[in-house]
Amino acid sequence: MNIHAYVSDFLDTQIKKDPAQKVFHQAVEEVVSSLSPVLEQSPVYVKEKILERIIEPERIISFRVPWQDDQGEIHVNRGFRVQFNSALGPYKGGIRFHESVNQDSLKFLGFEQTFKNSLTTLPLGGGKGGSDFDTRGKSDSEVMRFCHSFINELYHHIGYHTDIPAGDLGCGAREIGYMFGQYKKLTNDFTGAFTGKKPNWGGSLLRPEATGYGVAYFAQNMLATRQDSLKGKTCLVSGCGNVGIYAIEKLTQLGGKVVACMDYDGTIHDPDGINEEKLAFLKNLVFTRRGSLKEYAEHFPQARLLPGKKPWDIPCQVACPTACENELDEKAAKQLLKNGCQCVCEGSNMPCTPQATTILKESSILYSPGKASNAGGVAVSGLEMTQNSMRIYWTREEVDAYLQRIMKNIHESCLNAAAQYGQPGNYCAGANIAGFKKVADAMLDQGLV
Ligand code: GLU
């Protein structure tokens, strides 16, 4: 059989089924385009129609979320949970609250999550959920009423052994708290059915930091393959949420100088670097006051706000996109290379457009896909589940040691799979192949379900 023709027919058929699901197809194409050598070596995956099965979510739950604002006006949002794949464990993945949420975006995220979770080596299936509800500009009580309404339906479908949601864009410890509270009330059951809980009622230490720290550890591992390190490297971080802020913290602790980050207003460029004092200001601004980066530029005169701009034009050696999908395009990729960037380490899910991905893959720089380098968050979610089952808490140091080990293992699996299938140094191919094989083999073992 001609595998390339099979893969291309397969992609065409999928696109025809749901022509509007562009971002999901982008993710599928990105994974499947790496798999030809695997399918050639193991035709059983083709015979057993593993590709056709793996891209179909096991279940999608779609529901109405009515809620009342502080003025008593009624609003209706859409809620979803995409339970993508449970071959390796219960569905696991975050909840995104953002106006962009729809079935397409959640299928993309659930699909990515399946391979990411597989790479962590922990027993986790893949899922993703959310709502087109935007938490920005809402009061705490509005967010609480919304979260309770969201769970009034979702509680039927999740649970400690079934599906364990966590946070994502627009969904942090506050939202997890409200959702967990309502889940507990409805089920009368205190179990770790969510991760990202606060540490005083079941959460793991270091969970908030884990995705960002993991990104920095992954970058460190990549640079080490070239006998290099983060010491003295100028770094760009785009997003300024949980992932971005803790990536800044760890990149700095490992010797890097982070000179930019970004939010809805634009990018701040701080040529002196975001040091400890400025980071403390940033954390307070973003996490406590939910303010805007404009204030950072007002507070620290050496920093400049570049309104509506992304950071990719600023010269750097290490770039970590940590905001959202397709935030780094072809032009940005070319500019990064032109400015001498040596490493692009993805912190968000699929931040590079397909054209940018191709350019970075074809260059000689180190380039890692989000499903590998941002897996630290869900990995520590897995460790939160372990601690909940054991009814103990590990120290920060214990969790950090696990996190570092897991990121090192993921890095190694990517390199090994890439080398084994004839693409040494290609982290994207390696992550796709290693993530896919584990899920595919479990699906073969479990038969046609
Ligand atoms: N939303 C995060 C991710 O994209 C974390 C998911 C989790 O902890 O379950 O991996």
- Measured from the CB, is residue 378 less than 6 Å from ligand 1? yes
For range 122-130, the mean pLDDT:
98
Q: Give the pLDDT confidence of 149-173 residue by residue, as tens digits.
A: 999 999 999 999 999 999 999 999 9
Closest atom of ligand 1 to CA, residue 92: 9
- Measured from the CB, is residue 195 less than 6 Å from ligand 1? yes
Cα 378 to middle of ligand 1, angstroms = 5
Q: Do the domains 208-373 and 59-190 match in fold?
A: yes
Question: Ligand 1 pocket check: which of 88, 371, 381, 403 to mutate, most ligand atoms within 8 Å of Cβ?
Answer: 381
- Measured from the CB, is residue 94 less than 6 Å from ligand 1? yes
Cα separation, 258 vs 271, in Å, equals 8
Q: Which two tokens stand for residue 5?
A: 């023709």
Question: Ligand 1 pocket check: which of 118, 204, 211 to mutate, most ligand atoms within 8 Å of Cβ?
Answer: 211
Whether residue 53 contacts residue 107, with contact meaning beta carbons closer than 8 Å, is answered with no
Q: In the structure, what pLDDT confidence band is assigned to residue 290 with cuts at 50, 70 and 90? A: confident
For range 136-146, the mean pLDDT:
97
Q: In the structure, what pLDDT confidence band is assigned to residue 57 with cuts at 50, 70 and 90? A: very high
Q: Give the pLDDT confidence of 179-223 residue by residue, as tens digits.
A: 999 999 999 999 999 999 999 999 999 999 999 999 999 999 999
- Measured from the CB, is residue 117 less than 6 Å from ligand 1? no
For range 285-306, the mean pLDDT:
93
Could you confirm whether 338 is annotated as catalytic? no
Q: Give the pLDDT confidence of 386-430 residue by residue, as tens digits.
A: 999 999 999 999 999 999 999 999 999 999 999 999 999 999 999
What was the pLDDT predicted at 1? Answer: 75
Please, what's the b/e burial string for 269-304 (b: 16 or more CB within 10 A of its CB; e: otherwise)? bbeebbeeebbeebeebbbeeeebbebbbeebeebe
What was the pLDDT predicted at 377? Answer: 98
Q: Which CATH class is domain 208-373?
A: alpha beta
Q: pLDDT averaged over the chain?
A: 97
Cα 29 to middle of ligand 1, angstroms = 22
Cα 377 to middle of ligand 1, angstroms = 6
**Secondary structure E strands in 132-275:** 163-166, 234-237, 257-263, 266-269
- Measured from the CB, is residue 166 less than 6 Å from ligand 1? yes
Question: Ligand 1 pocket check: which of 113, 175, 322, 386 to mutate, most ligand atoms within 8 Å of Cβ?
Answer: 113
Cα separation, 340 vs 353, in Å, equals 20
Query: Is the pTM higher than 0.95?
Result: yes
Cα 271 to middle of ligand 1, angstroms = 32
Name the residue among 406, 352, 421 with its Cα closest to residue 124.
406
What was the pLDDT predicted at 264? Answer: 87
Q: Give the pLDDT confidence of 58-77 residue by residue, as tens digits.
A: 999 999 999 999 999 999 99
Name the residue among 250, 243, 264 with its Cα closest to residue 375.
243
Q: Give the pLDDT confidence of 19-37 residue by residue, as tens digits.
A: 999 999 999 999 999 999 9
What was the pLDDT predicted at 188? Answer: 97
Cα 208 to middle of ligand 1, angstroms = 11
Residue of 92, 107, 116, 128 marked catalytic? 128
Cα 426 to middle of ligand 1, angstroms = 24
| pLDDT exceeds cutoff 80 at 123 | yes
What was the pLDDT predicted at 27? Answer: 97
**Assigned fold of 59-190:** Rossmann fold (3.40.50)
Please, what's the b/e burial string for 97-111 (b: 16 or more CB within 10 A of its CB; e: otherwise)? bbeebbbbbbbbbbb
Closest atom of ligand 1 to CA, residue 207: 8
Q: Give the pLDDT confidence of 352-388 residue by residue, as tens digits.
A: 999 999 999 999 999 999 999 999 999 999 999 999 9
- Measured from the CB, is residue 325 less than 6 Å from ligand 1? no
Q: Give the pLDDT confidence of 231-266 residue by residue, as tens digits.
A: 999 999 999 999 999 999 999 999 999 999 999 889
What was the pLDDT predicted at 253? Answer: 98
Instruction: Tell me 159's DSSP state.
Output: B
Percent of the chain with pLDDT over 90: 98
Closest atom of ligand 1 to CA, residue 109: 4
What was the pLDDT predicted at 90? Answer: 98
Q: Where are the domains of the chain?
A: 3-54, 59-190, 208-373
Whether residue 147 contacts residue 77, with contact meaning beta carbons closer than 8 Å, is answered with no
